[in-house]
Structure 1
Amino acid sequence: MKTIKRLPRLDGKIGWVRTSPYHNRNSQTARFEKPKGLKSPYDYAIIGAGFTGISLAIELAKREPEASILLLDALRVGEGSSGRNAGFIIDVPHTLKLDQKALEKSSMIHRLNLFAIKRLEYYKNLGKIECGW
């Protein structure tokens, strides 16, 4: 088995982690548990605990409640790019162009963004997550 020698590098502090209820302000470390041991085999192994990885794990658990699911990330959950979006989501595209083709694309992006917002709200409510939203 290969040993991983290089992990992603953090390029600064992540503000929301430091202000979240999961952060232990005394020790300046998050209170996420370290793995105590991995069993083998798993029905599913998901690499990456960002929005996509967590969403996939939730959907798999709903569809196959008896399945064993392993969710792995090189960093603590929320320290990667999904956790660095400054804690906001929007429904409008970042750029709005006026030609017809661009308007059609912007409209599609708007619909996808609305779907993503509703889905995120669903997960927030499902997990009873208090996040000021």
Structure 2
Amino acid sequence: MKKTMRISLRAGERIFINGAVLRAERKATFELLNDATFLMESHVLQVEQTTTPLRQLYFTVQAMLIDPRNADKARALFDEMIEPLLAAFKNETIRNELQEICKLVANGRTFEALRVIRSLYPLEEAILEGDLDRASKVA
């Protein structure tokens, strides 16, 4: 039995579904009746927001989801990025989650990979700010 996904959009809000960009002219609710890859506009990272290593990784994975025609190029970039990230981060939580992200991407589960990356933002921020007390509490 397939699950349906109910999605509500505000007027002017966009959603990215299977590489297509849709914009609601007015408030709308609809159901996805089959499997589809989608990303809500509120989770789309703009290039000027890629200010940290994990945000750059997110942007790359996001490109795989939003632009399926160029997903191979984005995947190649992801593959180039992941090893240096694993080497750069000493925090075990981030390292373990990066390995999980690799598995998710390898299995085509980019939406879940994005969710995991987003969950690491507070920890990354604490580490980059040198706030090891906060980093240990976030982890």
* TM class by smaller structure: under 0.3
Larger Rg: 1
Report which of the two has the higher share of strand: 2
Report which of the two has the higher share of helix: 2
State the TM-score, normalized to the length of structure 1. Answer: 0.28
